[in-house]
């Protein structure tokens, strides 16, 4: 091809890319509406859960002071469900909100301090057990990567999940909680027996 042909080709008119701004705006608005609808449905479902669970009593407030600390750790609070059902998330009293958390175990029970949400306290008499698990409230962790504590709130047993910053601490927590529960049950049984003897 000659130089003249190249010059003629370069000077020939080129079609500019066509941008359909109206179509693009329509797509963006449609996507935003779908996102807003999904968010609204999620909020409605969450509010419905709160209404259904409104009979659940509020957990105890964190005491200002307790006896000597047995164990403490920092990590993430993964949520609370009804015991045995890892998908039945509890929305009442903000128990279902995931957050950072500080756990402190003492002879009186377990303090759950959540700086960005509602803190609560589980008295030792309401502790029912502890185990390692891999999922709660729809969130999945590696095998054994979750500390699940079972406790009583009113007439309902709950499971609360925690992931310590050092997951190697989980075994120590399971052992300490189980030992504390057994010690409390033993003292309670002895007190009951002493009361029966005095009343005889």
Instruction: Provide the 3-class DSSP secondary structure of residue 88.
Output: coil
- Domain of residue 44, residue span: 19-52
In a domain, 115, yes or no: yes
Strands 135-136 and 139-140: antiparallel
Q: Give how far the C-alpha of residue 150 lies from the chain's centroid of Cα atoms, to the nearest Å.
A: 14
Q: Which two tokens stand for residue 93?
A: 């009293």
Lowest mean pLDDT among 53-57, 90-94, 133-137, 154-158: 53-57
CATH number of the CATH domain containing 186: 2.30.29.30
Is the pLDDT at 71 greater than 70, yes or no? Answer: yes
Q: Which of 74, 120, 117, 73 is nearest to 98 (CA)?
A: 117
Could you tell me if 78 and 152 lie in one domain?
A: yes
Q: What is the pLDDT of residues 159-177, one digit of tens each?
A: 999 999 998 899 999 999 9
Percent of the chain at pLDDT above 90? 54
């Amino acid at each position: 091809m000659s130089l003249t042909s190249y010059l003629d080709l370069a000077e020939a008119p080129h079609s500019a890319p066509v941008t359909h701004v109206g179509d693009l705006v329509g797509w963006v608005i449609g996507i935003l509406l779908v996102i807003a609808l999904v968010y609204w449905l999620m909020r409605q479902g969450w509010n419905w859960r709160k209404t259904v669970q409104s009979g659940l009593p509020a957990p105890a407030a964190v005491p200002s002071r307790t006896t000597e600390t047995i164990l403490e750790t920092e990590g993430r609070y993964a949520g609370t469900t009804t015991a045995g059902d890892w998908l039945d998330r509890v929305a009442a009293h903000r128990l279902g909100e995931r957050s950072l958390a500080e756990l402190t175990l003492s002879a009186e029970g377990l303090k759950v301090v959540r700086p960005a949400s509602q803190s609560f306290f589980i008295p030792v008499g309401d502790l029912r057990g502890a185990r390692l698990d891999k999922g709660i409230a729809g969130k999945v962790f590696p095998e054994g990567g979750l500390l699940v504590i079972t406790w009583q709130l009113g007439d309902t047993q709950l499971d609360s999940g925690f992931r310590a910053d050092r997951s190697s601490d989980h075994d120590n927590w399971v052992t300490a909680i189980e030992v504390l529960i057994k010690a409390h049950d033993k003292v309670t049984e002895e007190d009951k027996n002493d009361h029966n003897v005095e009343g005889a």
